[in-house]
Amino acid sequence: MYWRKNCGIVGSLTFTLACFAATAAAKQPTKQEIVEHYAKAVVLVERLTVGESVKVQGSGVFYSPTRIVTNAHVIGDIPENRETVERVYMDTDLSRAVFWVTFLGKKYKARLVGRDPDLDLAILEIDHAVDGVRPARFGDSGKCAAGHEVYVFGNPLGMENSVTSGIVSGKERRIGMLSYEELIQTDAPINPGNSGGALVSMETGELLGIPNSKIPFADNMGFAVPINLFRDIEPQLQGTIKHSWLGISFPGPKFTDSEGFQGLKAIHELTGANHLEVLDGIRREVFDKDKGGVLVTNVMRAHVDKLYAILASDGENAAAEATARTPPALKAGFELGDVITKFGEFEIKRDLDLIRAIFRSKPRETLPVRIVRFDSTDKRTEVVLMVTPIVRNPDGVAGGFY
C-alpha cells in the first residue's frame, strides 16, 4: 500500500534519515550555514526529450549522494487529451529522454527512477556519488505552521543557486492543479525554474517541501508539495505510480452547513433528494462534529472513450476493465446521498480524508467501504460495500470523479 509506514525502508531514504538523526542533537544552524548547505544540495535539472524542440529546465534536491527528488512535471507532464496520450510523456517516451543535472558548474547525466504525476514528485539518480554533495535534511512538514519562516532554493529562469525567503502562509491548500493536493502555501517568491527545488525551514535548515507552482497574476502565492508525502511514497517510486479510481464525486471543502437551512438546500441541489427527513438526516450525519462523513453526489454510470484511452496497454486485466465499461462504484452499489464514513481501514470525516484513503489504496485490491443511508422515514442504516478500485486514467480526475 502506497503510503503505509514501512519499517524496512532501506537505501537512499535510510541514508537521509540517518543523517538527520545524527545531526538532530546538534545546535541549530545559522541562516548562513543553511544557505551554504543548500547551495550544495539543490541542482539545475534539464530534460531533452525526443520530439521536443525546447529544452525544459527545473530544479532538484539531492537527498542522498546519488538520488535527487524533483517534480514530476519537470521530468515529463502527463498528457491532457487523447490526441497527445500516445505521443509524449508516456514511460516509453521518457525512457528516450536525456536528463542532465548541473551541480557546482559540472553536468552529470541522470536516469529516471520513478514518478508520481498525481503528487507531482519524481526521483532522478546519478550512477555514482557526486563529490561535494550535502544531501538535504528532511523535516516534518506536518509540524510547520502558518508564520513559519522559510527559504526557497532553486533555479528560477535558469539562474542557478537562487534563494528567496518568506513565511508559510497556509497548509492543506488545494488549487486544482493536481488530482491530490494538500499543498503548503508560501509567500516566498517562486518562479518558473523553481519547480523541484527546496522549501526549507529558516529555523532548522530542514527540507519541508518541494516547490511546484504559483498562481499566475497573483503576488506572493506559491505552493510546495509537503516532504512527508515524498517520504511516504519514496519506496514505491519505481516507474510511474498508478493510483486507484472508483467513479464517484463528492463536495469540496466549501461544502459547509453554516446556517442549517443552507446545508439542506446544498444537499438537495447536490443529490436531488426531496424528502425533508432524508435531507435532515444527511445534514446531521455530515455536519455533526461527533459523526462526519463524505456525501456521495454522483456515481458515474459508464466509462467514456477518453477516460479509458490507454488502459488496454496496462495488461489483460485493464483491457477487460475497459471492455466492461462499468465503474467500480456502480458495481459496488454506491448511490447518490450515501455518506461514506470509513474507507478500508481509514475513518472518513471530510473530503480530504476520503481523497487520501483512495490514493492510499491499491488498484484491483478489494476493500470494504462503510456508508450511511437514510430512507424517506429518516431511518438510518449502515451498509458495508465491497469495492475494487481500478487504475486511474492519466488524464487526471475526469470531471471531478475519483
Q: Would residue 375 show up in a list of annotated catalytic residues for this protein?
A: no
Cell of 330: 456502480
Catalytic residue chosen out of the listed positions 116, 118, 120, 353? 120
Q: How far apart are CA 329 and CA 303, in angstroms?
A: 12
Quick one: which H or E segment has residue 196? none
Cell of 16: 537521509
Nearest Cα to 182, choosing from 245, 226, 244?
226
Concatenated DSSP letters of 153-168 = EE-GGG-TTEEEEEEE
Compute, in degrees rounded to 10, the torsion defined by CA atoms 235, 240, 241, 243: 180
70 phi, psi to nearest 5 deg: -150, -170
Cell of 234: 519514496
Q: How far apart are CA 344 and CA 342, in angstroms?
A: 6
DSSP 180: S
In contact, 153 and 162? CB cutoff 8 Å: yes
In contact, 222 and 133? CB cutoff 8 Å: no
Concatenated DSSP letters of 199-216 = EEETTT-EEEEEEEEE-T
Q: Would residue 120 show up in a list of annotated catalytic residues for this protein?
A: yes
HSE-up of residue 327 (Cα within 13 Å, Cβ side)? 25
Catalytic residue chosen out of the listed positions 59, 64, 162, 195? 195
b/e 193-225 (16+ beta carbons within 10 angstroms → b): bbbbbbbbbbebbbbbbbbbbbeeeeeebbbbb
Catalytic residue chosen out of the listed positions 12, 59, 73, 141? 73
Residue with grid cell 508520481, as numbered in its chain: 116
Q: How far apart are CA 255 and CA 267, in angstroms?
A: 9
Helices (H), 116-198: none
Q: How far apart are CA 351 and CA 55, in angstroms?
A: 39
Residues annotated as catalytic are 73, 120, 195
